Structure formats: structure tokens, C-alpha cells
Amino acid sequence: MNCQREKGCALVNGVEHTFEPLVPPQVFMVNDGLQAEEAMAEDPLAAHRDARQLVRLVQCPQCSRPLKAPVTLPCSHTVCRKCLPEPQPRTNISYPNTPDRLMGVTCPLMGCGAEHAAAECSVDVTLTKLMELVAQEIAQHRPSSADSVLFLQEILQHDPTEDNDEQEKEPIREKGNQQVLHGGRLISTYDMAEMGQLRYSSDVQFSTMSPDGDNYEQLDVKVLERLREVTHQELDCLVCYNMMLEPTTTTCGHTFCRRCLARVMDHSNICPFCRRDLHISASLQTNQCGNVILNSLLNGLCPDLVASRATAVKAEEQAGNEVMSTPLFICTLAMPAMPTFLHVFEPRYRLMMRRVLEGNKQFGMVMYNRISSSQGDLGSVPFLEYGTLLEIVNYELLRDGRSFVETRGIGRFKVRAHGMLDGYNVANVERVEDVPLAEEAIVEQRETTQARNFAELHFRQSPQTQLPTDIAIEALSTQQLLDTCTAFVREMREASAPWLRERIIQVYGEPPEDPALFPYWFASVVPVLEEEKYVLLRTTRVRERLKIVYSWIGRIRGQRWVTGNACNIL
């Protein structure tokens, strides 16, 4: 009898009762890259043995029913749309200044409570289709399973460590709802969840009611194989058309391989399926969570396929990382999203430009290291370690071999390693991305709240004294910082400032309304030393860049300079 209990099996009144030892959902809901595939590779979920775990993967952790119109949140949790609370205004947050981002939705799951912009709470398209296919397939198998009767007993889980400090006690198992259902373990467990009789965290004890003791294992196997077949196509990435690897869901609800989405974001900021604007970084390393449920389903149902694909991709990426593939033009400062015009005359850079034109038309622009300062791990190198990735827009070759090149900044990078190729520098670079919008919002909320509280106390105690400059700046919302900067630009144009002449506006365009881009535009036109502008390339917060620009404006006003002939602000 002890042996039988260890295997999760006991004989009661001559009828076999079996239960599945509770495996916490976190075991399957992993999202740590290739480690996830390796963790599941040797232990795929089985139709009969792991019926409870399989059904739990498609249950809403909030209402415990099968997911309906599921929403995958940026915190990686997935719940039914009806389980989300109503959006509420977000306090002290102004960037991005759009209605769907000024309203917030709080994750309803206990222990999370993260606040997300309403724009980031779209229905998960792929998971919705999967749930519809699962429901249809379960419904089709019900008529043929009328004789496969099972008694299901819900086993509630209670953690004794919540009540005391004894860490060694086993979880207390209490009986909950019970049902007599048909269709083997998979279908009956799904039906019990659909009836609202099976809590997300509960285990299930199964008892066959077949006169001949049949436990309907073959039926479970048949159902799961059919589910694999009908859902397989929905698990293909719409970019590479292979099975998704590290499925990653965008704010518009579409899911792709993380690697494929990163490649798209490298040259575009729109969803490759619906063309909606996406506010995510090109690398996806800082602000895009994977789809935990889809990742878990793939790892649990076909871990061998996931592992083999992950191994192939890893080998490919390692091979690419060993190559210093980014040519470096050591010259001047270039800004993201802004044009840079070059006159190429040195033989080494002529060769570099020819090769760039034959390739992806992209190269890196870095500044001279004029004072030979140490550049982090690179040491003392002839260039500064942060630069801008440029893409050639127009190219004019002259008869003598010189050329005029028009480029546009498409991103920032940090040089990780460098070498020489035929006289010019090449490098292995790492993209520099802004922090996630959620983190940007937290910083704005914290800074403005603290600064305004300080200002209130300051003026209560010293009503006649001026607020310290740094506190006054932090008290401004991100939108107020942008409004102040754009108002200054209008003021200077009306005063005919030489750095805002019409020909300059024709080259760089009107001031961007996007707070993320405005500092780059301003740095491109204002006569500030390049070494000061260079700081913008290292800054990963929009709000911080705007505060830098705000400080420049303060210095311009302090010097009472409007239409003078000054070339640089020292």
C-alpha cells in the first residue's frame, strides 16, 4: 500500500482512485529564454498523467474558468478581459500624452498589482484563437465520450507556512467541489473548470466509475493529439513561419518569436501584422515580456521541437556575435532620427562606403576622442564609445572618387569590441534603448510627487524664497518640460535666432511633438558644444533628456542671448 501511495494511487472500496500531485503553475509558466526550453525538454506533459496541469495552463488565474478573450499584460500575467478592472486615470504621468496611456489598468492578481497603461491591455489574438479551437475540439469529443464516466474530487490547497513559521510542513489538502463527468481526465477536468467548480490552484482526484476499471487513458491521448494538430498552425510565427520560439506578445495583441520581433523593430516601430505603432525597444531586452502561457504550452507539449530550434538559433546568434560587423566612421556627432551629411574623401572611408552600399547601407558614426579619455572597458581609444547607427538615404559619387552622403540616424549603440579592416575601424556593438514606458512613468510619478511635496513644504516654511532649480525642474511633468522647450523654440524663431533660420528648419524639419525625439532635434540645431550633446546618446530616459535640454535653455536665457552671433554656449 505504501508503494501504491508513493505513485499517487490508492484502492478505496475496490475502486481505483488516482490523483495528480500538485505542481505549482510557475513550474510551467517560465520565461527565461533558452533555459525554459532546457527545463522542459526531458519531461513533456502527458495527456493522462498531467491532465490537471494541462487544463491549468488555459485557466484564468483570476476567475479559474478557461480563458475567454484573454489579455496578456506586460507583467506576464494573462487573465480574461472581463477579469480586468476598469481603467482609471494615472496620477502624475504625462508621457506618452495619449488618452489610452493616461489611463491605467491594475493587474488584479494578488501579489502583483502592477499598473499598466490601458494601451498595453489588448486582447491576445493568438491565445484567443487557441482557446476557441480548444473549446471546439472539446465540444466535438463530448458526444463520443458519454460512457467514459469519472468521479472528480477537487482538492483544495492550503499552505501551512502562511499561518506559522514551520517551513517543513506539507501543504494541507482539503476536499472541495465534486462532479461526475464524462470524457476522460482531460475533457472532464476542462468541463469542471468551465462550470466554475475547479479553482485555479486546486488539485483533482480522479475515480473511474467504469465497471471494468477502464481509466480512459487512450481517450486522453487521442484528445491531446487532436488538440496538438488543430492548434499547431496557430503557434507559427507570422514573420518566419516557423514554430514560435520565445513567443512575445505586442501591446496590440499579436505574437511573434522574440528574435523575429526584434529584427522587425530594428528598422521599424510598427507591428508586422496590423501595422499599429509600437512603443518598444528594438532589442526587446528591457521592456517586452514573453507570453508565459504560450511558452509553457510549447515547452510542455513539444519540448523536443522547441529545444532543437532553440539550439539552432543559439548557434546562429553566437556565430553572428563573433563578427565585428559594424563599420565605424570616426568623425562627428550624429543624432537618432536626424539627418547627417558627409563629404567622404579619405581612401579608407571610400572603400568602407562602397561596402556599406553593397550591404545593408548602415554604419556607425562616432566622435573623435579628443582628450584621449578612457572609454570604459575599451580603454583609451581614438573614438568615444557611444555612437549613432546611420542609414544611407542618398549617395552621390563624384568623378574623382569623393562622395556626398546623406544619412539618417536609426538608433544608438555602445561599442563592445573593435578592430581594423583595410584601414577603417569595425566594431561589435550593443544597441542602446530607452527604458520601458512603464519604468519611465514610475520615474515621472516619483520625481514629480516628491518635488511637489518638497515645494509645498518649502513655501510653507519660506514663502519669500525661490525654490531650488533642481527641485523646480523635477516638479514639472514630462509634458510640461516638452511644452516649455517648444515654447522657447517658438520664442527664438520670432526673435530671428540665427540657429533657427529657415534653411536649418528645411534640413531638420519642424520641432517633433514626440518628447523622445525632441531633444535630438534640439541638439541638432542649437549651438552647444558637441561634448555636451554627446550625453544624450548615453541617456536612456526621455525625461532625463528633456531635463538636459531644459538646462541648456536656462543657460541661454541667463546669458540674455537672443539674436547674438555666439557660436557655442560654454
What percent of the chain has pLDDT above 70?
85
pLDDT in the model for residue 534:
97
Q: How confident is the model at residue 18 (pLDDT cuts 50, 70, 90)?
A: very low
Among 4-8, 41-45, 156-160, where is mean pLDDT lowest? 4-8
DSSP 219-256: HHHHHHHHHHHHHHGGGB-TTT-SB-SSEEE-TTS-EE
Position 283 scores a pLDDT of 61
Q: With cut-offs at 50, 70 and 90, classify the pLDDT of residue 562.
A: very low
Alpha-carbon span 487 to 505, nearest angstrom: 16
CA distance linking residue 85 with residue 70, whole number of Å? 14
The pLDDT assigned to 402 comes to: 92
**Given pLDDT bands bounded at 50, 70 and 90, which one contains residue 318?**
low
Which set of grid coordinates corresponds to residue 478?
514630462
pLDDT category, 392, cuts 50, 70, 90?
Answer: very high
Residue 329 has pLDDT above 50, yes or no: yes
What are the beta bridge partners of residue 396? 404
pLDDT at 161: 46
Does 33 have pLDDT greater than 50? no
Q: What is the DSSP string of 359-403?
A: TTSEEEEEEB-TT--B-GGG-B-SB-SEEEEEEEEEEEE-TTS-E
**Cα–Cα distance measured from residue 285 to residue 105, given in angstroms and rounded to the nearest whole number:** 23
pLDDT greater than 60 at residue 346: yes
Q: Under a CB-based contact definition with an 8 Å cutoff, are residues 191 and 177 in contact?
A: no
Q: Poorest-confidence range of 260-264, 437-441, 509-513?
A: 260-264
**Distance between CA atoms of 151 and 565, rounded to whole angstroms?**
89
Contact 525, 508 (CB under 8 A): yes
Q: For the chain, what are the domain ranges?
A: 42-156+175-321, 326-431, 437-560
Would you state the pLDDT for residue 212? 87
- Between CA 350 and CA 156 the distance in angstroms is 73
pLDDT band at 143 (very low <50, low <70, confident <90, very high): confident
Is the distance from CB of 375 to CB of 390 less than 8 angstroms? no
Q: Minimal CA–CA distance to 154: which of 28, 61, 64, 27?
A: 64
Residue 27's pLDDT is what?
36
Q: Answer whether the bond into residue 143 is a cis peptide, omega within 30°.
A: no
Mean pLDDT of the chain: 85
Region for 258 from its dihedrals, namely left if φ exceeds 0, alpha if ψ lies in -120 to 50, beta otherwise: alpha
3-state secondary structure of 161: helix
The pLDDT of residue 266: 72
Q: H helices within 120-181, ranges in order?
A: 125-141
Confidence band of 287 (pLDDT split at 50, 70, 90): low
Residue 3's pLDDT is 38
pLDDT tens, residue by residue, 76-115? 899 999 999 999 999 889 998 888 889 999 999 988 889 9
Q: Between 3.30.70.260, 3.40.720.10, 3.40.630.30, 2.30.130.40, what CATH number should domain 326-431 receive?
A: 2.30.130.40
The contacts of residue 367 (CB under 8 Å, 6+ apart) are: 330, 331, 332, 333, 383, 384, 387, 530, 534
Question: What letter does residue 528 receive in the DSSP assignment?
Answer: B
Is 180 in contact with 106 (CB distance < 8 Å)? Answer: no
pLDDT confidence of 169, banded at 50, 70, 90?
A: low
Mean pLDDT of 40-49: 72
Q: What is the pLDDT of residue 268?
A: 78
Q: What is the pLDDT of residue 238?
A: 87
The answer to whether residues 434 and 540 touch, using CB atoms and an 8 Å cutoff, is yes
Cα–Cα distances (Å) from 227 to 72, 186, 233, 367, 565, in that order, read: 22, 11, 11, 57, 74
Sign of CA dihedral 346, 427, 353, 371: negative
* Grid coordinates given for 9: 494511487
Instruction: Find the mean pLDDT for residues 419-430.
Output: 93
| pLDDT band with cut points at 50, 70 and 90 for residue 31 | very low
- What is each CA distance from 543 to 445, 449, 536, 540, in whole angstroms? 11, 15, 11, 9
* pLDDT over 90 (residue 210): no
Please give the pLDDT value at position 19: 45
Q: What is the pLDDT of residue 304?
A: 85
Q: What is the DSSP string of 195-221?
A: TT-S-TT-EEEEEE--TT----HHHHH
Label residue 494 by pLDDT band (50, 70, 90). Answer: very high
Q: Which H or E run includes 36? A: helix 34-40
CA dihedral angle for residue 161, residue 167, residue 168, residue 169, rounded to 10 degrees: -10
- pLDDT on residue 158: 66
CA distance 381 to 373: 8
Q: Are strands 326-331 and 247-249 parallel, antiparallel or unpaired?
A: unpaired
Radius of gyration of the chain (CA): 30
Query: Burial of 298 by CB count in 10 Å (0-12 exposed, 13-18 middle, 19+ buried)?
Result: buried
Between CA 56 and CA 111 the distance in angstroms is 19
Query: Per-residue DSSP letters for 105-118?
Result: EE--STTT--EEEG
Q: What is the DSSP letter of 140?
A: H
User: What confidence score (pLDDT) does residue 100 get?
Assistant: 87
Lowest mean pLDDT among 153-167, 402-416, 480-494, 511-525: 153-167
pLDDT-derived band at 122 (thresholds 50, 70, 90) equals very high
* CA 397/CA 403 separation, integer angstroms: 4
Is the separation of the CB atoms in 387 and 412 below 8 Å?
yes
Residue linked to cell 553593397: 358
Give residue 282's pLDDT band: very low, low, confident or very high (50, 70, 90).
low
